Amino acid sequence: MNIPEELKYTKSHEWVKEEDGFYVVGLTDYAQEELSDLVFVNLPEVGDEVEAGETFADVESVKAASDVYSPVTGTVAEINEELLDAPEKINEDPYGAWLIKVENVSDTAPLMDCAEYEKLLEEEE
């Protein structure tokens, strides 16, 4: 299981990192593997408000539909439009295929570092 050291994680299996003043959010390797082949991604619109711990997107695989929860509270600055036509990019490269970039962040959900997240995954197993 790939858990990059430089990222922060939520217990609902999203990753987040700070980059150029934005908070970049995506799904972890574990999440994409559990979901299996993704066939659909529903993203918010630029300018939408997201709230830490609340759902902001949903993804669908051949197995199930799942909500995606925001690690931060803020405004959507950018969405990864490429995913709308190619949701498989999340399966291929979960840490490259970010979902949204958030600005004006005022709050964050409880976040874990990679060691803590690895421990959570062991417990889930």
Partner 1 sequence: MKLIFERGQEGRHLSILPKLDVPAYQPDEALLRAQAPALPEVSETEISRHYSALERRAHGVNNGFYPLGSCTMKYNPSIDEEMAALPGFTNVHPLQAEKTVQGALEVLEKMEEKLSAITGLKYFTFQPAAGAHGEFTGLLVIKAYHKDRGDEARKKIIVPDSAHGTNPASAAMCGYEVVNIPSASDGCVDLDALKAAVGPDTAGLMLTNPNTVGIFDKNIEEITRIVHEAGGLCYYDGANLNAVMGIARPGDMGFDVMHLNLHKTFATPHGGGGPGSGPVGVREDLGKFLPGFRPVRGEDGELHLAQPEKSLGSMRSFFGNFLVVVKALTYVTMLGREGVLEASRNAVLNANYMRKALEDIFPAAFPVTCMHEFVISLDKLHKETGVSALDAAKALLDYGIHPPTMYFPLIVHEALMIEPTETETKETMDEAIQAIREIYERAYSDPESLHHAPHHTVIGRPDEVTAARKPKLRYQKEV
Helix or strand or coil: residue 84?
helix
Among positions 1, 21, 54, 63, the unique one binding partner 1 when judged by CB under 8 A: 63
Window contacting partner 1 (CB under 8 A); options: 7-15, 23-31, 64-72, 107-115 = 64-72
Would you say 76 and 105 are in contact if contact means Cβ atoms under 8 Å apart?
Answer: no
Of the two residues 5 and 85, which places its CB atom closer to partner 1 in the complex? Answer: 85
Is residue 118 a contact point for partner 1 (CB under 8 A)?
no
Please state the length of the chain.
Answer: 125
Helix or strand or coil: residue 61?
strand
Six-digit token pair at 25? 């959010």
Of the two residues 46 and 64, which places its CB atom closer to partner 1 in the complex? Answer: 64
Amino acid 5 reads E
The contact set with partner 1 (CB under 8 A) reads: 37, 39-40, 60, 62-66, 87-88, 125
